[in-house]
Structure formats: C-alpha cells, structure tokens
Amino acid sequence: MDKFLRRKDSSSRTDDEEPSTSVTKNLKKVVKRKYDEDYIKYGFSWCGDETAPRPQCIICGYQLSNESMVPSKLKRHLYSSQPSCANKDKQYFKRCSDQNKKQKKFMKSAVTVSEKALEASYHVAKLIARQKKPHTVDETLIKPACMEIVRLMLGPNEVKEVNKVSLSADTVKRRIHDMSSDILETLIKKLLLEFLMEAENLRLTERKLHSTRF
Ligand SMILES: [Zn+2]
C-alpha cells in the first residue's frame, strides 16, 4: 500500500515539477532583446534573426550576441573599439549604415553578374564547338543577335547585362581549349585506370597459371 502511495506521491510531484520547469524554459525564451532604433546613436544596427536580432557595429562590422542588445554593452564597444566615433551623432552613423548597405548590394550584384556571365560564356563556347562553327561567329553573329533580342524583348538595361558576357574569338578559343583539356584529362585518367586494372588481372591470371603448372 505504501509503495502505491509513494508512487502516487512521486508521480504527483513530477506533475507539479514539470509545468514549473516549462514555465522557466518559457521565461528564458521570452527574454529576447529587440533592436531599438535609438541604438544607432551607439553606432549599432542589427543582423540575423528578426525575433532575436544581434547588434552589429556599423563601423567595424563586429557582431555581438542578442543578450548584449543593451545600451551599456553597445556603448562599451563604441568607446573601446571606435573611440574616434564616440562623439559622432545619429546622422553620422545613419550615413555610414546606408553606405554599407549600398556597398553590400553592389558587391552582391557584381559577383552574381560576373559568375553568370562567365557561365554563359562557357555555354555559348560549347555550342559553337559542337556545331563546328568558327570562333568568330560569336562576336559577329551570336552576341549581336542576343543583344538585339534582349533589347526588343526586355529593354536597354538588360542589354548592358548581356554585354558583360565575354564572347570575343579569343575568349571562345580559350573556353573551348579549357573544356577540351578538361575532357582530355578525364579521358586519360579513365584509360590509365582501365589499363592498370587490366594489367593487375593479367598478373593474377599469370600467377594462377604458374602455381597450377608447378
Ligand atoms: Zn565596432
């Protein structure tokens, strides 16, 4: 009987404990600091998750934890890491922040455009090689035709993007050379591997024959 009572006791105790622990867990979760627009005066914007933003220094880019989203800690970073900016006003930090955003946007678009242009250049070179057309066909026909189509269908700004694809005869020649040496290298590796495997098989068969003979 005692055993049952004890069990009941202990189970009721855990029942009581469980909600209390989940409450503390919930309380911990609730303490997520939000970014205040006023924090820009300490030289901070924010980054990461909107529900738990991390303070990010506008000047050096350093990121603090969400827990550090309090004036005292932001101020401490400003005074210790950028003392020369400590007396700057909100407007100064706002201008720096806008500048950072512009720079980031520019870098992102520059990288994606150049990567895409490079990829396009390889694709066109492959088409030319497959069709066994002279390397100059790109410069004299393909690129002007593409630009004309894009200009009529999309507009003048898009033409500028297409123009970034390098399609001179020299480039096409270089791309085809790159691709053919890559293919050649793969082919040589494959043939070499096959040859080595064949040699190994021959060696094993020879050894077997030798052992049966003696
Ligand atoms: Zn900083």
Print pLDDT tens along the chain (214 aa).
Answer: 444 444 444 444 434 444 444 444 555 556 899 999 999 999 999 999 999 999 999 999 999 999 999 999 999 999 999 999 999 999 999 999 998 888 888 777 777 777 888 888 888 888 888 888 888 888 888 889 999 999 999 999 889 888 888 888 888 888 888 888 888 888 888 888 888 888 888 888 888 888 876 6
Cα(85) to ligand 1 centroid in Å equals 10
User: What residues does the ion ligand 1 have nearby, CB within 5 Å?
Assistant: 57, 59-60, 62, 81
What are the DSSP E strand ranges found in the chain? 44-47, 54-57
Cα(202) to ligand 1 centroid in Å equals 68
Helix axes 156-163, 143-153, angle to 10 degrees: 160
- 1, amino acid identity: M
Residue with tokens 């009529």, as numbered in its chain: 152
pLDDT of residue 112: 75
Instruction: Pick the closest to residue 43 from 108, 10, 90, 3 (CA basis).
Output: 90
CB 64 within 8 A of CB 54: yes
pLDDT of residue 6: 47
Half-sphere exposure of 2 (CA within 13 A, CB side): 0
Between strands 44-47 and 54-57, the pairing is: antiparallel
Rg value, the chain, Cα: 34
